[in-house]
Every structure is written in structure tokens, then in C-alpha cells.
Structure 1
Amino acid sequence: MTRKQLVIIGAGMASGRLLEHLLEADASAYDVTLFNAEPRGCYNRIMLSPVLSGEKSFPEIVTHDDTWYADRGITCRFGERVVKIDRDRKVVTGEKGDVAYDKLVIATGSSPFIIPVPGKDLPGVVAYRDLEDTNAMIDASGTRGGRAVVVGGGLLGLEAAAGLRLRGMEVTVLHLMGHLMERQLDASAGHLLKADLERRGIRVLTEASTAEITGDGKVEMVKLADGTELPADIVVMAVGIRPETNVAKAAGLNVNRGMLVNAQMESTSDPDIYGLGECVEFDGNIFGLVAPLYDQAKVLAKTLLGEGDVFNVKQLSTKLKVTGCDLFSAGDFNEGDGREDIVFRDPARGVYKRLVIEDDRLIGAVFYGDTADSNWFFGLIQSGEDISENRDTLIFGPAFQGGAPVDPLAAVAALPDEAEICGCNGVCKGDIVSAIEGGAGDLGAVRAVTKASGSCGTCTGLVEQVLAVTLGDGFQMPTAQPMCGCTDLTHEDVRRLIKSQELKSMPAVWQAGAWKTPDGCHSCRPALNFYLLADWPVEYQDDPQSRFINERKHANIQKDGTFSVMPRMWGGITTPDELRAIADAADKFDVPTVKVTGGQRIDLLGVKGEDLPGIWADLNRAGMVSGHAYSKGLRTVKTCVGTDHCRFGTQDSTGLGIKLERALWGSWTPHKVKLAVSGCPRNCAEATCKDVGIICVDSGYQVGVGGAAGMDLKETERLADAKTEEEAMALTIAFIQLYRENAKYLDRPYKWVAKVGLDWVKARVVDDLDERQRLIDAFALSQSVYQKDPWAEHVKDRTDDYTPLADLTLEAAE
């Protein structure tokens, strides 16, 4: 019997879910041909933001790879656009030929709206919808930073802004309305979000109307209606999307805002054609969130198999995490007669909660900064139950109903089976409980059965709580994720294993830790290399092949394949001879850009790879060594002029900075480390936002640790007060060594301190003098092996020395 032919146009998340449902129910029902204009199959577009920021790679967000399609006999026409649909002949014509169909699914998604201003077509103006857009933004940022303007302060725009800021760009967000994300947040929450973004270094302009984009052959400037001019190397349009209906319109199908479908997802003008996803319109609604798209996919799969089901428009909630800011909104939060608000504000914690009540029922909610109980509140909105008895304590969440706090798991236990846990995939508590009772005993198994937590991941903690409630003592709440897919051990487990069993090579760790792969992977090898180096500096030999490309090349690679060269300037101090050497090197090797960095150093940008040995030979002869601007190690020690020149200086901040830099340079650490020494509390060296910052005062030195000034803005916490330079240096060195011995690879000091607690650090670095000395001695031993200039040892061209793992070619997100 000849199988029916199913043709699907579009390989996005909605059609991907359709294929899963269809093949799980009856893999033999159809021969499937899948068209996609992109040259690839289904991937999780929700996770493009971590790809942009560098937190994930594209392969990590692929949902269906080539093997998945091949194993299921799906004919893939990727990178091929559909030219037309002949409904009379029931043929789809692609750029490479015709395909006949019995049933046709149009899942063409949406297209970005580009505001019609002059200059919108200039190179450098991009949307933010797919991998190509993401790669264009990554290319624009390179490793030099640059300036980006993001037009649109909705979710996509803010995700783009956050990713570009993490890539080092100066980012300005333009939003036409009075506050950000006005469709999801009320004005108060929107203003909190704006303040939070600005603290993270993102400039936000509201009520900003874009008038023109200008440039000579490429983007250079954005001009606003009020005359403001914003220099830009890239402009990201993120002002909205529209259903992509061109192919449906050309085929003569009924189209309004989207392609019109009925509750079975059938086109209202052709019973053999179906619509799915962002391109469709049902009952006057179009859809942009993933949850209703997955509902549509489930209904359409049953329709194609002749089973009865209908699609219903459900009330939706929005639970988002934008640049570390937790947001939740649901229902109707607009003001109106007969409505009352319950508002909770905690400015110190950055928490805002607003409930909207009408006729003793919760009809809307907006949360900012604390969304832990959002599912419970959403359930109240959906059920419409009377909340009058709990009104006084309602704002405090389910754990406080009845006037006293209870075990948080009790609130999860009290959720009804119909309470939605995973909004992306429309999974309720009852679905998860059924999966657990059917044998799904951990998060991965629950995700495989129900797909809960499988999209954006924000419901992961709640799914684990349902597991804990359902399994009781049979479930251990996870405290950390495995190091990578090669092992079930966490980073902390691996560090303990290396120390306790005195493992001094990667093969020894792989054997003792029951590694699932023979040689590790791009995630675990760099971490293992550092852990072994930190614990056994004498016995273990550093493995360059297990380092990221910048550390293998001893230079920062740029987007055009050239490199950045930064010689070390101790404490930011230089000499005329050093400056002459830098100028001569820049001339000799035709360096296109010479820049003063934020860390008081000079950076030579655009050096060719073949010139690296030569330029460093010249700089070495002038007495200069590598500034390790590429390393997981000490970058710079920033200083002010201190008592030598400043009338406010209380101590020799420059001298102390030089001593610290000379003591610490060359050390490998879990992540980059930056220090600063300010000569007085006026803090000209910005010491209060460094990994270690020292403020000089009349009585000595205030040593702070765990600061941050990137996407997370955090002031240092006081480690101790020191009376002498020697004591300040001892505290700093002991802290760095404690960090080296205990932190997870790629955790900055502020993240590590938050995990272990400052009191734990103080007990070892400040209070226990014997332990402090042990740490200092251990650091000195490591430095005796590794404190050396990599270029002083290698005078030949190093470019032929590297045969790295293929996956180790990109630097980790900084």
C-alpha cells in the first residue's frame, strides 16, 4: 500500500513538535518531505540568546540533527525556498523542483518587522530571528567591542542587548513607549527593569523614535526624532514580528493577519492544507509564544491521523529571565473601575509584586525580581476562585496562607493536578506526576517523557520540586549539574577526586571518574587541565591542547583572524623607552589600531598571526612581557597615583599595585582576575568593583573581594583591614590561592564567594594564620613553575604547533 505524502513547509519549533507527535503515534502513516529556507533543521530559537552571549554553542540548541531526520526517513529540502503551491495539482514547487502532496502543512513562522526609516537597508542593520542574525551580531562584536543600537525594548530586543553587552559592545536600547516590555509589565516593573539594565551597562532610552539610519556604505549612525545622534557599528531591529503568509497568499488561501485555520488547524479554504505556528490566525488571535504553538502541533498530529481534537486559546502567562532579571506577568493588570491593587515593594532586594483583584478574584499579576510563586498565582487567575479569605496574606504566596510559613514543598504538594508547571510545553502537574509514577525518576527522564523544562528551562526548579513531593525520600534534590556529558560527577566532585586520590593526569581522572568518553570533550578538558595544574603544579605538565584558542596562541584572536598584543605595564606605569618600543613595533608590523584599555594598558590590535613571534621578540628585547590579556589568570592591577602625586592620597597605591602585579602575574586561575588599588576612598582606580580591590586609608588598607562590573554589577565585600602593605599582599595572595584551589572552572571570584560564603573565606584567609601561610606557600610553589612569559621561551612561529580538538576553537564567554 502506497503511503500518503505529507509535505511540510518550515522546519521550526512548531513543525518539529508536530513531527515528534506524529511519528510517535504512527511512524508509517506518511512519507514526509520537509522544506526549510534556512540551511538546517529544527533548533530551539528560544536559546539563541545564550548563543549570542557565548554561554552556549549552536550544536547545544539543535533539537533535530541530520541523523534524527535520516533515522526517521524524512526527506529534507533544507536551504530551499518554496516558490509556489499548485492546489489543483496538489504540488509544492521548490527552487529545486516539484513535490506532490496528499496533505500539506504550512508552518512558515513569522518575519521581523523592519521600521520603514531611511537607511533601513544599509549593511549592518539586522533583525533577530534566526542563526544568521545571531552570527551577524557576533561578527559585529568581534573581540573589539564596538557600539550597538537595539531598536525595540521588548523581550527580543533586551535579549539581543544583553548578549551584545556580554560580547563587550556598548549597547543602547531605543524603545518607543514609556516603559520597557509594556505588553508584559506595568510601568513600575518596567522602570525597575530599566534601572537594572542600566546597572549592567546597557543604556536605555524610552519614548525614543528612530528617524533615520545613516552611513557611508554601512551603518554608522542612528538619528532620533528629537535630534539625538547615536554612533553605531550595528543596528538590531527588534520591534516586532508579523506572520509570514506570502506563500499562503500566493496559493489563494484565506489570509487575514495570519493564515486562517479552524480548531483542527485546517485551512478554512482547503481541507488538505493545514497551518501551524506563528503564521496562522485562529479565532482572531495570532501567536508568538511557544506554548500555544506546541498545543497546535499536538492537535494537528491527531488531525492528520484522523483523530478528534480541537485547539483552544488559553490564557497565557509570561515568565521570563532577561539578563538575570526575573519577570512574570499574567492576566489583566490594567487599571479599571471596581479593581484594586495589592502591591509589595522591597527596593533593597529589587523586588516588586502587584496583584490585581476584581470581585474577590485574582485577575492579574506582575512580579519583578521574585517569581518563585508565579505558577501558584497563575493557577488562581485561571481557576477564578474566591480569594477573599486569604486576601490579607495573598501577596506573600502559598507558603504563607493561613498566616504562618510552611515547608515550601507543601505549597507544591497543594497545587492541583491541572496547575501548569511548564508554560512552554503546556505540561501540568498531573502530567509530571503520571510520568513519575510511570518510572521517570529524575529530571532527565521527566523531560524525555513530558518535555517539561525542555525549552527555556525556567521551570526546572519547579519540576524538581514535583519530583521531590511525588517520590518523597526516594528523590534527592540535585545541588549541581554534572561537569559535562562525559561524566556524572560535578565540578566539585572532580576536584575532590583529584585531591583525595592524588590523580595527576587526565587519563587517571577519566579512569577514576568512570568517564563515558575516552578522551573527554571541549567542556571538561580545559577544566581538568586547570584543576590538575592548580593541585599538582610540579608533577602535572600543562596541556596546551586542552586550552581555549587564545591561551594556546598567547594572544586574543580577533573577528578577522588577526590578534591583539598587550604587553604588561606593572600597575599601569610605563616609561619613555617602553612607549618607544611599542611605537616602533606598531610601525614595524603595520599595526592598524593602538588603544589604551580600561585597565591602564596599551593594546596593539590587528596583528597578523605570522607576526606574533616577531613583535614579541622586539617587545621582549625592550624588557616587556605578556600582559596575559587572553588568559584565565591575572589580567591587570589598576592603580591611581596615590601619595606620590595626589594631595588626597593616603598610601602608595601605585607601589602596592606594582608589587601585587609582580607577585601574581602568570598564575592560572579558574577565570580571569582583575585587581585595583585606590589611594584614598575617592576610589579613582574603581577598586570596589574588582575581583580584589584595595582602598588605601589613613590607618592602612581595606581589602575587598568579589566585586563585578560586567552584566552583573556588584560591590566588593570587605575581607579584612590590613595595617601594612605586607599584610594586604598576604591577604590578597591567600585569597587568590584559595580561589584557585576550590572554585569551579569559569566561575569568577564573586560567583565562587557567593557559593561558599564570605565567612568561610574569612575563616581560612583572615582568621587562620597557619592556613593563610599554607596558601601563600602553595601559590609561591605554583608561581615557581608557571610565572614566566610564554613568548620569551618561543622564538619560532608557533602557528604550526597546534592540533587542537575541533570544539576547542572558540574562547569561552567572558
Structure 2
Amino acid sequence: MNKQKLVLVGNGMAGLRCIESIIKNDPHAFEITIFGSEPHVNYNRILLSSVLQGKASFEDIAINERSWYTKHNILLYTGETVVKIDKETRKIKTDKEREVHYDKLIIATGSVPFILPVTGFDKQGVIAFRTIEDCQKLIETARMYKKAVVIGGGLLGLEAARGLLNLGMEVKVVHISGHIMERQLDSTASLLLQKELENQGMDFLLKKKTQEIIGNERVERVRFKDGTELEADLVVMAAGVRPNIQLAKESGIDTNRAIVVNDHLETSIPNIYAVGECAEHQGIVYGLVKPLYEQGEVLAKHICERKCHGYQGSVLSTQLKISGVELFSVGDFLGDETTKSITAYDEIDGMYKKVVFQGKRIIGAVLYGDTKVSSRLLDLIINRQEVSSEERGVLFHSAQMSEGEMAAMDNHELICNCNAVSKGAIIDVVQNKGLTTVEQVKQCTKASGSCGGCKPAVTELLAYIQSNLTDDTKIQKIMCSCTTLMEDEVVYQIQLQNLTSVQAVMDVLAWGNRTGCATCRPALSYYLRMIHPEYEIEQETLYINEQKNATVQSDDRYSVIPQLYGGMTNAKDLRKIANVADKYDIAQLAITSDQRIHLMGVKKEDLPGVWTDLDMPLSSKYGNTVHNVKTCIGEHVCSCDKQQSLLLAVNLEKKFEHLLTPYRIKMGISACMHNGAGSTTKDIGVMGMDRGWEIYVGGSSGRNVRAGQLLCVASTNEDAIETIIGFIQYYRETANYLERTWQWIERVGLIHVREVLFDKELSQQLSQRFEMA
């Protein structure tokens, strides 16, 4: 099979993330060529401010070394600019007269700095802040000169100003608005930030419009439209950026503010795509790293013909990278006449929180001085989750963490928002691969490798993992002693190489023990069933036959369990059970916690007669399946109506009978908040409320009790059943064998699970695959 020729125009962060995802999705599909105008390998432009501030070197911000390109057979041309796209012949031409054919073309040309069109903008000492070369010029200038003027009080301008302060310069920030960072902050947070930066040594001139840059060959002064002037040896243009769309325009590709793309990042020309700061999706041009990465992931799946629901836009969040400042903003933090907000302002400690609500849902927030709840806020906004009064209180009070902040975080919570890396994912890779440094964590997970704002958190988490507090946080090791592969790697290879039997997996993946062991054989059988449901995998079982209607006891007798859906029965069935017990001399009958009657001590030769005389559906507690649903029956605690909860339990039990799962699943349904069924400590718990059913997941009532997390609220029985079907099917498809629901949720993240279940297309696909199973 001939590989398609893929050309990437632009060697920046968005384009390279897309290429990395393409290689991950289909490493053999494309012959890849990349052109970059800068004479460097791919580097993290966002961390230029860290280089300027002296926190990182140029080597530290490189993302992909040349060896990475070589390893993946990528042809890289640096310092070479694509100047023409010939749509008819599918060729690109560069400024070095090079012509390259493409089957698919990705434009990722990013943006260019906006240089104010004022007299003197081209004098020596007027520098933008966009590239490594710009950064080097600023550092060199600071060695010889002392007075710097930064034009622009936004995110980039403030980070540049902080860097110049670190280099020993006197820094004045000029801003056209009355508040700094007005696109990311409200007026209160802006004033707090300004006061802190003034204490660090910055001066601010607000509501100033630059008219002219004065000097002979080199800048000497800056004049404003109100007639005032400032002395300056250096002027940094940080007034914003503009999408770099000149190539697309000249090639006849539809543009507006940027290159217009659809949900699959396709432009108006077939087989030409755009991603990153040069792309405009539904009228929005994104400039922050997380949306650009999300676009790259979607485009990679589309190009590799993987199932993908398309790019749906992103919720924007901002974190400032200046020492001594904790600052976070997300979404619509200003609000309007249709919204309400809650604010908390501690002027003594310099802490400010504002959360904006539309109804019971959060749509935006600003945090200054204490950003511990930023991940939680982002989760609530993305998933449009309603927030109770109790939860609102938690958001405005920082948790008291007796064992430190990291010990108090749930494993599903995100450490790195840019790359969606959770605490659990970092613990997993650190323990499995023996990582000891932040740099190693970055290389394996990309955490701290984008905006860099989470680097302190990664450092703290690494110290926590290496302490004696993490004995119970180990997540995943190699599958067993027969192989050096982890379970995720085994599953990936089964899919990639289309392996269809246990022995084929062991042979192809070079199992050390070619017959396997008691750990890997059942695990491989389970994965093969999930990946190839059309194949019937032979499994050893303790059941008598395929109906799974008797289970071996330790005394070599058997137990038989009549199925009482929802824990309910009637006089006729009770008499039938009693008669069978008498007829076959079954002395032990037990009513268990799952509200079922167990006929225990049945002789093997009596089994056919017991089954025939009972003439009832049978249940089983054995194996990794969805177990019977525990319900709350009776009026002694609460007199609420139990009928809807019992009906829901019956429907769920019939839906999930004998369904294989990675680990046994326990469910509970409580009719009301009194929680008579212990729903909040089950794998799946459903609790009746005035607004419908609250669905909790990932609970456990074992030795170390775990409270389930609220997944969502379902307004009807049908909605609850649909959500639970999707949850269980996604767990079946993506969990490791014998991985419990709470371990799985910590590994993949509750946010991710919600994203899948709340996507209609993906949810329907899960339901279809569940029905097939």
C-alpha cells in the first residue's frame, strides 16, 4: 500500500500536535513533510516568557528534537517558507524554489505580531515578542540599555515586562484601556494584579494611545496622543497578534479574520485543512494552547478516518505565568442582565473570587490569589453541571488539607489543563516507568510542556509520589510476568495487528510464557471478546452450563439463586421455593444483602430437578458481571414513594443480566435522599431527588469506603437507563481487566467520561454496541 503524502505548512505547536496525533492514530498511513519558516525545530512559544524571565533556557522549551523527526521518518525543512499552493496540481512551492506534491495539506501558519502603524515603528530598539530571535534581541538589549516601554497590558505584554524587570531594566507598561488584561479579568481582579505588579517594580500608564516613536536611528522617546512623552531605550510591541493567512488568501482559500474551517478543520478547498491560530471556527479564532491542541486531535482523527464527532469549540481559560501571582479566569466572567454572580474579596490577604451563574450553572469565573478550585470550576463549566448550594460553598472555601494539597486531590482531577493530564495519569507513569524528574514526566505525559503554569503542581505531585503517602495510589503495572507490556499496550496491539485469539496474542507479542498464566489468559479472553464480539472465546467457568444457573461451593455442592427482580417476589414464588427446598432436602436458605434467596447445598444430581421445579429465571453472584441492584424497600425509615425506584431497578436488572464486565459492578437505587440502598458507595448509584435521579459512579463499600462522584442528573427513568448503559459500555470497552470502576475513573478522568456520555453521537454508538453485546 502506497503511503499518502502529507505536507504540514508551519512547524509550530498546533501543527506538530496534530502530526503527533496522526502518528498515534495511524503510524503507517502518511509520508510526512514539514516546512517551518524559523530556523529551529518545534519549540514552545508560550514559554518564551519563561526564557525571558530567566526560568528556562532555549533548550528547555524545545518540544521535538531533530531525532524525533528522524525516528518517525518526517522530512523537515527549517528556515524555509511556503509561498504558493497550487490547488490544481496539488503542489506547494517555497521561497527556495522547492516544489513538493501533497495528497493532504495542513496549514498551521499561526499568527504574526501586530505592529502599531505609527511613525518610527521601524527604528532600532523596537522589537516584537513572538520568536526565539525576538527573545534573544531583548536579552541582548537589556545588557546595554535600561529604560524599556512595553506597549500592551495584556497577557503577553505583562509576561514580557516581568522578564525585562528580571533583566534589570526599568519597565513602564503602556495600555490603551483603563484596566490591564481586560479581556481576561474584571476590574477588581485587574486592579489587584496591577497593585501586585507595581509592588514588583512595574509602572503603568493606562488610557494611553501611542502616536510616534522618536529617535534618530534608534528609539529615544515614545510620544502619546495627549502630548506626553516617555524616555525609552527599548520598545516592546505586545499589542496583540493577527492570524497569518496571507498564503491562504493568495491561494484562493476562503478567509475571514482567519482561514474559515468546518467542524473537521476542512477549508473551502478539498484535502486542505487549517489548524491553530490561523484557523477560524464558527466565527472564533483561538489563541490559547488548549483549544489548538483540541483542534489538532480532531483533525488527526478525521485525516486518519477514525470515528470523530468533530470540533465543537472550546471553553477558554487563562493562567498568568508571573512569579508571585496566582491568577485564573475562565468563560464569561463579566455576565449580563441574565446572569447572577457570587463574589468573595479578602482585601487583607489579597484574594478575590467571582463565579458567574446562569440559572444553576456556572458560565465563568475569576480567581485571584487562590486558584485551587480552578480545575473543579473548569469541569463544572465544560459539563454544564448544575451546582447545589452546598457545592457553591465549597468553591468559595479552600479545602483544609492535612496531608498537603496533592493528598487531597482526587486522582481524576487535572494537573495540566492544556494537555488534560490528571493526577492519576502522572502517578501511573511515574510508578510504572520509575520517573524521578519533572522533565521526565513532561516527556512521557506532556504535563507542564505547554503553558508551563502547572510545573509547580507537577513538582509537588512528584514529591508526593516519592513520599510514603502514596501506598494506595498505584494504578497499573505490566499485565503479568509473562510479558513486559502494560495492559493498554496489549489492547492497542490486539487492535493494531487484528489479533483474534489468545494464542495469536501470545505468539505475536512475544509472550515469555507461551501458554500464559492465570492472570493473563482470562484478561486476554476478555479483551478479545470486547474487540471482536463476533468471536466466541472459550473460557473456563465455575458455572455448570452456559445459562450460568448454579455455582460451585467450597464443599463441592452448588447454590441456586432464583431471580427476584428488584428484590420483589410474591406468595406463589415463595411457596414454590419452599416446596423445592423441602423436596430436595435443601437445609440452607439465606436472604442476602442483595435481597435474593439463595438455595445452598444443592447436590449436583439434584440440579436438573431443582431447575425444572423452580421454573423461574435464575441469578448468580459469580463472575465479573453486573450484579443484582440493591433497592430500599419498606416504610420504617421514610414514607416516600418507592415504586419508581423499584421499577427502575427491575428494568436495569433485565437490561444487564449476565453482561460481562472488567470487574463486578454493584448498583444501588435509593428512592430519596435518605439513601436506603447505600447508593453513594456503589459502582453505580441512583438517588431520587425532586429534579429527577442523581447518578453517582465510582463508589466502593469495601474496607476503604469510597464515596461515588456525581456523574449527572437524569430527569426520567429512560434518561437514567440510557446514561447507565453508556457508562457501563464505555467502562467495558476502555477499562483494564479487573480494574474497578473507581480505578478506571481515576485513570481516564470523570471529565472525559462525561464528555463521551454527553456527546449524542458517541452515546448512540455505545448504546448500539451494548445491544450487540
Maintained 8 Å contact 2:353/2:365: yes
In structure 1, what is the equivalent of residue 121 of structure 2? 120
Return the offset for 1:429: 5.9
Maintained 8 Å contact 2:159/2:321: no
Return the offset for 1:177: 0.8
Distance 1:464 1:137 in 2: 29
In structure 2, what is the equivalent of residue 298 of structure 1? 297
In structure 1, what is the equivalent of residue 100 of structure 2? 99
Distance 2:91 2:338 in 1: 57
Partner secondary structure for residue 277 of structure 1: coil
Maintained 8 Å contact 2:316/2:331: yes
Amino acid in the other structure paired with 2:116: I
Distance 2:35 2:182 in 1: 36
Alignment of 1:772-787 (within 5 A): none
Q: Give CA deviations for 1:185-213 in whole Å, capped at 9, x if unaligned.
A: 11011111111111111111111111111
Is 1:71 aligned to 2:71, yes or no? yes
Distance 1:464 1:221 in 2: 43
In structure 1, what is the equivalent of residue 52 of structure 2? 52
Q: Give CA deviations for 1:119-139 in whole Å, capped at 9, x if unaligned.
A: 122222121111111111112
Partner secondary structure for residue 83 of structure 2: strand
Alignment of 1:282-431 (within 5 A): 282-309=281-308, 310-337=310-337, 339-390=339-390, 393-397=393-397, 399=399, 408=405, 411-413=408-410, 417=412, 420-428=414-422
Return the offset for 1:432: 5.3
Partner secondary structure for residue 194 of structure 1: helix
Maintained 8 Å contact 1:179/1:206: yes
Distance 2:386 2:402 in 1: 21
In structure 1, what is the equivalent of residue 134 of structure 2? 133
Larger radius of gyration: 2
Return the offset for 1:467: 7.7
Partner secondary structure for residue 357 of structure 1: strand
Q: 1:386 to 1:226 in 2, by over 3 A?
A: same
Maintained 8 Å contact 1:362/1:387: yes
Farther off after superposition, 24-33 or 226-235:
24-33
Alignment of 1:643-792 (within 5 A): none
Distance 1:291 1:321 in 2: 16
Alignment of 1:150-299 (within 5 A): 150-267=150-267, 269-299=268-298
Amino acid in the other structure paired with 1:294: Y
Return the offset for 1:461: 5.2
Q: 1:71 to 1:362 in 2, by over 3 A?
A: closer
* One of 441, 446, 449 as aligned partner of 1:451: 446
Farther off after superposition, 16-25 or 464-473:
464-473
Distance 2:321 2:381 in 1: 21
Maintained 8 Å contact 2:145/2:234: no
Distance 1:335 1:104 in 2: 40
Amino acid in the other structure paired with 2:292: L
Amino acid in the other structure paired with 1:424: C
Return the offset for 1:18: 1.9
Partner secondary structure for residue 341 of structure 2: strand
Q: 1:439 to 1:138 in 2, by over 3 A?
A: closer
Return the offset for 1:290: 0.5
Distance 2:418 2:217 in 1: 42
Amino acid in the other structure paired with 1:12: G
Q: 1:372 to 1:89 in 2, by over 3 A?
A: same
Return the offset for 1:393: 2.7
Q: Give CA deviations for 1:749-768 in whole Å, capped at 9, x if unaligned.
A: xxxxxxxxxxxxxxxxxxxx
Q: Give CA deviations for 1:238-281 in whole Å, capped at 9, x if unaligned.
A: 111111000011110111111111222221x2221111111001
Return the offset for 1:452: 2.4
Partner secondary structure for residue 108 of structure 1: coil
Q: 1:381 to 1:140 in 2, by over 3 A?
A: same
Return the offset for 1:52: 1.5
The size of the alignment, in residue pairs, is 470
Return the offset for 1:60: 1.6
Q: 1:283 to 1:69 in 2, by over 3 A?
A: same
Query: What TM-score results when the alignment is normalised by the length of structure 1?
Result: 0.54
Distance 2:137 2:61 in 1: 18
In structure 2, what is the equivalent of residue 33 of structure 1? 33
Distance 1:6 1:460 in 2: 34
Return the offset for 1:176: 0.7
Maintained 8 Å contact 1:379/1:420: no
Partner secondary structure for residue 326 of structure 2: strand
Maintained 8 Å contact 2:3/2:31: yes
Amino acid in the other structure paired with 2:303: L
Q: 1:203 to 1:455 in 2, by over 3 A?
A: same
Distance 1:136 1:347 in 2: 40
Q: Give CA deviations for 1:446-494 in whole Å, capped at 9, x if unaligned.
A: 54443223223323455577789999957399xxxxxxxxxxxxxxxxx
In structure 1, what is the equivalent of residue 80 of structure 2? 80
In structure 2, what is the equivalent of residue 577 of structure 1? none
Partner secondary structure for residue 189 of structure 1: helix
Amino acid in the other structure paired with 2:180: L
Amino acid in the other structure paired with 2:114: F
Return the offset for 1:387: 3.1
Please give the root-mean-square deviation of Cα atoms over the aligned residues, in Å. Answer: 2.9
Q: Give CA deviations for 1:537-591 in whole Å, capped at 9, x if unaligned.
A: xxxxxxxxxxxxxxxxxxxxxxxxxxxxxxxxxxxxxxxxxxxxxxxxxxxxxxx
Maintained 8 Å contact 2:264/2:302: yes
Return the offset for 1:349: 2.5
Return the offset for 1:438: 6.8
Maintained 8 Å contact 2:372/2:398: no
Partner secondary structure for residue 278 of structure 1: coil
Amino acid in the other structure paired with 2:448: S
Amino acid in the other structure paired with 2:139: I
Maintained 8 Å contact 1:441/1:475: no
Partner secondary structure for residue 134 of structure 1: helix
Distance 1:25 1:192 in 2: 46
Return the offset for 1:59: 1.4
Maintained 8 Å contact 1:50/1:163: yes
Distance 1:102 1:58 in 2: 35
Return the offset for 1:116: 1.6
Farther off after superposition, 346-355 or 245-254:
346-355
Distance 1:470 1:397 in 2: 26
Q: 1:167 to 1:90 in 2, by over 3 A?
A: same
Return the offset for 1:323: 4.1
Q: 1:49 to 1:470 in 2, by over 3 A?
A: closer
Which structure 1 residue ranges, 5 or more long, are not aligned? Answer: 478-814
Distance 2:58 2:4 in 1: 34
Distance 1:397 1:383 in 2: 22
Amino acid in the other structure paired with 1:305: C
Q: Percent identity?
A: 43
Q: Give CA deviations for 1:16-58 in whole Å, capped at 9, x if unaligned.
A: 2122222233333222221111111200111111211233221
Maintained 8 Å contact 1:44/1:62: yes
Alignment of 1:502-521 (within 5 A): none
Distance 2:434 2:88 in 1: 48
Return the offset for 1:359: 2.3
Q: 1:305 to 1:437 in 2, by over 3 A?
A: farther
Q: 1:74 to 1:385 in 2, by over 3 A?
A: closer
Amino acid in the other structure paired with 1:203: D
Q: Give CA deviations for 1:56-103 in whole Å, capped at 9, x if unaligned.
A: 221121112222223332222211111211111111101222111111
In structure 1, what is the equivalent of residue 470 of structure 2? 475
